């Protein structure tokens, strides 16, 4: 980490400088495992450099959390257009630097670690894991490109956070963890911007998160295909869909409020009905994270011979501690079928739990 007090490290050690043209030539996958920094603010014609360096087609993959990894091709123009939309979410806050924790081998990481800083014309740092140095950002207006564990890291480095002149957190890839609310409260209302999307669709919608479940607003080039009243599977049209698709139906259930906004209900595979009660496991996990002191936890849907659907709790305990699970279960109104104490929960680089059998 930076230093014992969580302050800003001196110098730029730990972030080798990479020329922007070198980053683009290396390919996104080659940029994921080691820290680096780049000066997009020193590139005269960044669009010409990016479009002239990327291949005509860039293939990115799903993370494999719900099945086999699958390749999704996109044109360089689609990627550059999406980077522009994400950059536009940050422009009102006038960032001067970007610090990213999102691996570039995935679509979100390729965008926010490489192409969004290029669009903004700012200096960029990339750090691939929880441990290691933090870049010197004192006095700068900073955009933090986050994955779920980033909020815990920021909470552990309050002096680093406070050293920035301004800080905006951009988050995608998963439901916000409980530590996001802790961070928002600890900082007196930190600015958190969320992006809703997937590898196959790209960015679908965005929102400024201030707690709760605010409505999502579609990006300007996205339209939702009407699917009836109440909660329906979200189907979208967009010029940025992978593989040349004209429309795609997602695994997400939403309530369309109007032509441009929706309320997220949950993801297929994370919505279960136990004893007649429909449960959003992502929301319940966030509630448990705030109530149970542990290293990690996950609710896993399982088949049950008596009630049909149920859930197991996978818990990574803190050594030497025995959390009060009964109180936590009362809080969420659910007692899992089983509590499995495990050494670790297998997650992707972006924090999603990999597929678990029942």
DSSP, collapsed to helix, strand or coil, labels residue 308 as strand
Same domain, 196 and 280: no
Q: Is residue 202 within 8 Å of residue 78, measured between CB atoms?
A: yes
Same domain, 176 and 42: yes
**Pick from 256, 257, 253, 277: nearest CA to 265:** 253
Residue 14 lies in a domain: no
The model's confidence at residue 265, banded by pLDDT at 50, 70 and 90, is confident
The model's confidence at residue 128, banded by pLDDT at 50, 70 and 90, is very high
Please, what's the b/e burial string for 146-179 (b: 16 or more CB within 10 A of its CB; e: otherwise)? bbbbbbebbbebeebbebbeebbbbbbbbbbbbb
Task: State which of 247, 265, 283 marks the end of a domain.
Answer: 265
Task: State which of 234, 250, 265 marks the end of a domain.
Answer: 265
- Looking at residue 274, what is its pLDDT? 83
DSSP labels for 131-142?
Answer: SS-----TT-EE
Residue 1 lies in a domain: no
Domain housing 94: 20-265
Residue 67 lies in a domain: yes
State the average pLDDT over residues 225-251. Answer: 90
- Looking at residue 278, what is its pLDDT? 77
Instruction: Please indicate whether residue 229 or residue 133 has the higher confidence score (pLDDT).
Output: 133
pLDDT for residue 159 is more than 90: yes
Same domain, 100 and 165: yes
The C-alpha atoms of residue 111 and residue 120 are separated, in whole angstroms, by 12
Dihedral angle sign, alpha carbons of residues 79, 80, 85, 87: positive
pLDDT for residue 63 is more than 80: no
The model's confidence at residue 358, banded by pLDDT at 50, 70 and 90, is very low
Cα torsion through 244, 253, 67, 280, rounded to 10: 160
**Pick from 86, 82, 76, 16: nearest CA to 49:** 76
Residue 4 lies in a domain: no
- Looking at residue 3, what is its pLDDT? 36
Q: Write down the pTM of the prediction.
A: 0.82
Residue 64 lies in a domain: yes
What's phi and psi for 34, nearest 5 deg? -130, 150
Same domain, 176 and 323: no
The encoded tokens of residue 330 equal: 């009362």
Q: What CATH number corresponds to the domain at position 152?
A: 3.40.50.12780
- Contacts with 5 (C-beta within 8 Å, 6 or more apart), sequence order: 159
Burial class of residue 224 (count of CB atoms within 10 Å of its CB; 0-12, 13-18, 19+): buried
pLDDT for residue 66 is more than 50: no
Same domain, 281 and 322: yes
Q: What CATH number corresponds to the domain at position 332?
A: 3.30.300.30
Q: Is residue 98 within 8 Å of residue 117, measured between CB atoms?
A: yes
The C-alpha atoms of residue 140 and residue 98 are separated, in whole angstroms, by 10
Residue 154 lies in a domain: yes
What's phi and psi for 130, nearest 5 deg? -70, -35
Q: Which residue has the tokens 């070198």?
A: 22
* Alpha helices by DSSP H, 93-166: 107-109, 116-120, 150-155, 158-163
Residue 161 lies in a domain: yes
The C-alpha atoms of residue 196 and residue 262 are separated, in whole angstroms, by 11
The C-alpha atoms of residue 164 and residue 139 are separated, in whole angstroms, by 5
Q: How many domains does the chain have?
A: 2
Same domain, 223 and 295: no
Residue 250 lies in a domain: yes
Q: Is residue 313 within 8 Å of residue 334, measured between CB atoms?
A: no
pLDDT above 70: percentage of residues in the chain: 92
Same domain, 151 and 260: yes
The encoded tokens of residue 114 equal: 């490489």
pLDDT for residue 9 is more than 50: no
State the average pLDDT over residues 44-64. Answer: 91
Same domain, 243 and 292: no
Same domain, 277 and 239: no
Same domain, 323 and 221: no
Task: State which of 265, 287, 319 marks the end of a domain.
Answer: 265
CA distances, 251 to each of 233, 248, 256, 274 (Å): 7, 10, 15, 20
**Pick from 140, 194, 185: nearest CA to 162:** 140
* Alpha helices by DSSP H, the chain: 20-26, 46-53, 76-90, 107-109, 116-120, 150-155, 158-163, 178-186, 281-291, 325-332
Same domain, 321 and 230: no
pLDDT for residue 281 is more than 80: yes
Same domain, 224 and 295: no
């Amino acid at each position: 980490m930076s230093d014992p007090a969580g302050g800003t490290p001196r110098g730029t050690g730990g972030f080798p400088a990479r020329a922007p043209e070198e980053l683009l030539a290396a390919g996104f996958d080659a940029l994921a495992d080691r820290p680096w920094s780049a000066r997009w603010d020193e590139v005269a014609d960044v669009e010409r450099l990016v479009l002239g360096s990327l291949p005509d087609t860039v293939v990115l993959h799903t993370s494999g959390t719900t099945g086999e990894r699958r390749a999704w091709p996109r044109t360089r123009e689609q990627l550059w257009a999406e980077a522009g939309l994400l950059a536009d979410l940050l422009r009102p806050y006038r960032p001067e630097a970007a610090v990213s924790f999102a691996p570039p081998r995935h679509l979100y990481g390729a965008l926010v670690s490489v192409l969004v800083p290029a669009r903004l014309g700012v200096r960029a740092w990339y750090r691939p894991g929880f441990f290691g140095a933090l870049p010197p950002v004192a006095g700068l207006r900073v955009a933090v490109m986050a994955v779920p564990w980033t909020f815990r890291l920021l909470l552990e480095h309050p002096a680093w956070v406070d050293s920035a002149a301004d800080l905006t957190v951009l988050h995608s890839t998963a439901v916000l963890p409980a530590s996001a609310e802790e961070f928002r409260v600890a900082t007196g209302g930190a600015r958190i911007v969320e992006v809703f999307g997937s590898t196959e669709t790209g960015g679908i919608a965005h929102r400024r998160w201030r707690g709760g479940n605010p409505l999502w607003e579609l990006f300007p080039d996205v339209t939702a295909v009407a699917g009836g009243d109440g909660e329906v599977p979200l189907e979208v049209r967009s010029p940025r869909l992978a593989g040349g698709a004209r429309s795609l139906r997602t695994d997400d259930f939403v309530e369309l409020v109007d032509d441009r906004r929706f309320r997220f209900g949950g993801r297929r595979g994370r919505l279960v009905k136990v004893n007649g009660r429909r449960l959003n496991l992502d929301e319940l996990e966030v509630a448990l994270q705030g109530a149970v002191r542990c290293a990690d936890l996950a609710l896993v849907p399982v088949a049950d011979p008596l009630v049909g659907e149920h859930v197991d709790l996978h818990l990574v305990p803190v050594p030497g501690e025995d959390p009060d699970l009964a109180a936590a279960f009362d809080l969420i109104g659910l007692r899992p079928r089983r509590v499995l104490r495990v050494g670790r929960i297998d997650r992707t680089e972006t924090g999603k739990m990999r597929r678990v059998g029942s």
